[in-house]
Structure 1
Amino acid sequence: MSKLHLVFGGRVKDPQTLDFDTNTVEVVGIFPDYASAENAWRAAAQRTVDDAEMKYVVVHLHRMLEPPLDLPSA
């Protein structure tokens, strides 16, 4: 399975949290590996480096798509 990564960001209500203002969320893209996602994240974050309320993150989509292996049996 591909190890997809989502990069997105936007304005946060408090720079110490990930509480995004949903009206400002920008999807940078979905990437096939962490290295390319990290490059996109760095570029997006660098554009807004002087704005403490702008934050970008990398989400490991592949972790959300993989079924958990330790489910209790019914």
Structure 2
Amino acid sequence: MSDNAQQLLHLVIGGELTDLENTTFRDLDKLDIVGVFPSYATAHAAWKAKAQQTVDNAHMRYFVVHLHRLLDPGQDAKSPR
């Protein structure tokens, strides 16, 4: 990534949910923090790999969190994922 490129950080996390209707994790101590990624594309690839590994557990869910939106809430909503 060049020095002038905008950093759009994304976090991939997952864990077992208490139920399928909510996004409340059953045990925060067992939360799987996959990592922080420099783009949506790299975060999505990591999310997909983790989701496929846990496909047999219906309560296991992984999420992509748009950290760049949290770090800069005034950022244009039309920016790339």
Q: Is the structural similarity TM-score above 0.5? A: yes
Deviant stretches of 4+, over 3 Å:
none
Q: Unaligned 5+ residue runs, structure 1? A: 70-74
Among all aligned residue pairs of Structure 1 and Structure 2, give the percentage whose two residues are the same amino acid.
Answer: 51
For 2:13 and 2:39, locate their aligned partners in 1 and report how far apart those are by CA, in whole Å.
Answer: 15
Quick check: 60-69 or 28-37, which moved more? 60-69
TM-score calculated relative to the size of structure 1: 0.86
Amino acid at match of 1:47: Q
C-alpha distance in 2, partners of 1:58/1:46? 15
Q: TM-score, normalised by structure 2?
A: 0.79
Secondary structure of 1:10's partner?
Answer: strand
User: Which residue, 51, 56, 64 being the options, matches 1:58?
Assistant: 64
For residue 28 of structure 2, what is the aligned residue in structure 1? 22
Question: Of 11, 14, 17, which aligns to 1:12?
Answer: 17
Q: Deviations over 1:13-55 (max 9, x none)?
A: 0122210131220100100000000000000000000101100
Where does structure 2 lack aligned partners over 5 or more consecutive residues?
A: 1-5, 76-81
- The alignment status of 1:68 with 2:74, answered yes or no, reads yes
Between the aligned partners of 2:30 and 2:11, the Cα distance in structure 1 is 16
Q: Which residue of the partner structure matches residue 8 of structure 2?
A: 3
AA paired with 2:22? T
Q: Aligned pair count?
A: 69
